[in-house]
Structure 1
């Protein structure tokens, strides 16, 4: 199976785009960070450290302390792809994050985004 280009892309290059997307819809960087921390198990210092290290997506998710057990409840379509049907585990994690940021930008309540 071919390796996706996004796997080698620095997380720190995409992270500002997540923040911009949220801010365009009157949401904050803090909310984006909360979503990322919920999904990956990073604390705020750990998340900031990963951004500063400019690691790629593959490393970002490989070093994540623990994917949230409710991540499997993330369903829906992002970029024309149904996230629950993505076969590659790393690509699915990336799509989960994309979907959560999309939900924030669309104004969904944080409790629902975090599957609480």
Structure 2
């Protein structure tokens, strides 16, 4: 495997951290699922399947039914890095996902998180 170590991390190990982060701030797993579905095109069954199969983040995005064309509207900073400036396409998708989860946890309006969708 080439690239960053994060690419080989199972999505199933990241997902519960996202849910925990949202729940600590009074939000739900359903909200996380909603933004993940918006970003990747996975439906509920597809998300569950990726969790059960323990696919890597690289495979999670490679198999995504349809990345949302409005994902390019996602801007902001995650871990001190501006997501719109990330050069590696896979790392950018991971950062988009991180930023969306942060926005849910911060209580941002869903219409704003989904970039007006």
Tell me the residue number matched to 1:34: 34
Cα distance, 1:108 vs structure 2: 0.3
User: Residue 107 of structure 2 aligns to a residue in which SS?
Assistant: coil
Cα deviation, residue 109, structure 1: 0.4
Q: Verify: 1:79 aligned to 2:79, yes or no.
A: yes
**Which residue pairs with 1:23 in the alignment?**
23
Structure 1 unaligned regions, length at least 5? none
Indicate yes or no: 2:27 matched with 1:46: no
Secondary structure of 2:112's partner? helix
Cα displacement (A) at 1:3: 1.3
CA distance in 2, matches of 1:37, 1:102: 16
Moved over 2 A (4+): none
Alignment of 1:1-116 (within 5 A): 3-116=3-116
Distance in 2 separating the partners of 1:3 and 1:64: 19
Quote the offset at 1:62 in angstroms.
Answer: 0.0
Q: TM-score by structure 2 length?
A: 0.97
Structure 2: distance between partners of 1:28 and 1:104 = 9
RMSD, aligned CA: 0.7
Structure 2: tracts of 5 or more residues without a match: none
Instruction: Provide TM-score, normalisation by structure 1.
Output: 0.97
**1:107 offset after TM fit, Å?**
1.0
